[in-house]
Amino acid sequence: MRPALRFLLGQLLWLLAAVVLLYTLKAAGERLLPRAQAGHGLRAVLFINGTLGDKSFFDGAAKGMREAARQLPVTVRIVEGGTDPTRWLPALTALADSGEFDLIVTGTFTMAPYVEQLAKAYPERRFVLYDAAVDAARCACRNVRSLLFRQNEGAYLAGWLAARLDRAGLPGVAPGGGLGVMGGMQFPVVDDFIVGFRAGAKAAEPDLPVATQYANSFSDPALGKEIAKTLFARGAGIVFHVAGASGQGVNEAALETGRYAIGVDVDQQALYQARQPALAARIVTSVVKNVDVAVLEALRASLRQPAAPGGVVSLGLAEHGVSLAPRAGLLAQWPPALWQELERVRAEIVAGQRRVPSAFMPRTPG
């Protein structure tokens, strides 16, 4: 064999061996990688009917999706739909029609009719609807898992605590001035928070006034600040806000007026602690709706039972679906007797010994 031909043959054999080696390494790597990275896992998308950065509900859902991508064989995508409601259905339809996703996650009361419509049009897709439920009378929707939160239970604890703190007298605030609540918009989920908060406050201090006002927006911090300042000027020592990004204005108003706020959905005191400690010090606690945990568990369930029907999951204090944020800042200095009594109230709710009113009638069994 000529030397040139022998060299060429040697080069071809070397190249073939290299290709085989690379293919073997790739296959081994895919076995070692999480299934989602290897292309065999669940493909899930979160559609947000708004934008990230609300330091509340949407950020919590996104956190759950990212945690799913970290823990599970799931590939995830997060889509921000913006604040224009006319764009939500077309965008959600495009996601369902694309064929890129096995599971579509979205939430809030306003998205329920769209999910009902798409669940019937795309029966091969699966949907998770958090903080709302499809109407069984309109849609069989066995491909939709609805996640409901008994937010009234967590808000009850916040109202009870706020009333006791107000009567005792918070630093810089005269005792007995009352409480305030600001809702984003007047619809059942928001009202469920408000009903629970007011009931808890009245249970602790029956004569304490609790003023309520709506911002009619979940994305207007400036308006939230204006409303909060009005409530503070009327005597409220603490204002609880259930208003998404509009609630950031309540926190700012508390800082500027020397009063206090109660956050919602996530631990807002912890969110502000590193960069704005003075503002964090004005947030007494937060009614935490563990949307991240609920979304993560919904994706985990979809992996375990990919063909399982939908249904309604109800999450309250007993299921750790809602809670108060861990004690920090001002509350860390309060006497233990207050926390012992608050824990007794929580235990009575979990055991069904203390009834918490709801804006939903009848209430989904929990």
Q: What is the pLDDT of residue 135?
A: 87
Q: How confident is the model at residue 8 (pLDDT cuts 50, 70, 90)?
A: very low
CATH number of 151-289+335-350: 3.40.50.2300
CA distance 249 to 246: 6
CA distance 285 to 337: 18
Are residues 346 and 188 in contact, defined by beta-carbon separation less than 8 angstroms? no
Closest to 232 measured CA to CA, from 250, 246, 247, 205: 250
Residues β-bridged to residue 179: 210, 238
- Omega prior to 335 cis, within 30 of 0: no
Question: Does position 22 have pLDDT exceeding 60, yes or no?
Answer: no
Q: E strands along the chain, which residues?
A: 42-48, 74-80, 103-107, 126-130, 144-149, 179-183, 210-214, 238-242, 260-265, 283-289, 311-315, 322-324
As a whole number, mean pLDDT of residues 316-321 equals 93
- The mean predicted confidence, pLDDT, of the chain is 87
CA distance 111 to 132: 8
CATH number of 42-149+293-315: 3.40.50.2300
Q: What is the pLDDT of residue 46?
A: 98
As a whole number, mean pLDDT of residues 86-114 equals 95
| Contact residues for 124 (Cβ-Cβ < 8 A; gap 6+) | 143
Quick one: tokens of 175? 């005792």
Q: What is the pLDDT of residue 31?
A: 29
Question: Three-state DSSP class for 26?
Answer: helix
Q: Is 124 left (phi over 0), alpha (psi -120 to 50) or beta?
A: alpha
Run of H or E residues at 170: none
**pLDDT (tens digit, 9 = 90+) per residue, 228-254?**
999 999 999 999 999 989 999 999 999
> Same CATH fold, 151-289+335-350 and 42-149+293-315?
yes
């559609």: which residue's tokens? Answer: 47
Domain boundaries, the chain: 42-149+293-315, 151-289+335-350
Q: How confident is the model at residue 362 (pLDDT cuts 50, 70, 90)?
A: low
Q: What is the pLDDT of residue 1?
A: 54
Q: Is the pTM of this model over 0.95?
A: no
**pLDDT (tens digit, 9 = 90+) per residue, 175-199?**
999 999 999 999 899 999 999 999 9
Question: Does position 13 have pLDDT exceeding 70, yes or no?
Answer: no
As a whole number, mean pLDDT of residues 279-304 equals 93
How buried is residue 221: exposed, middle or buried, by Cβ count under 10 Å (0-12/13-18/19+)? buried
Q: E strands along 202-336, which residues?
A: 210-214, 238-242, 260-265, 283-289, 311-315, 322-324
Question: Does position 152 have pLDDT exceeding 90, yes or no?
Answer: yes
Q: What is the pLDDT of residue 242?
A: 96
Question: Does position 15 have pLDDT exceeding 50, yes or no?
Answer: no
CA distance 364 to 270: 32
For the beta carbon of residue 309, count every other beta carbon within 10 angstroms: 12
As a whole number, mean pLDDT of residues 96-118 equals 95
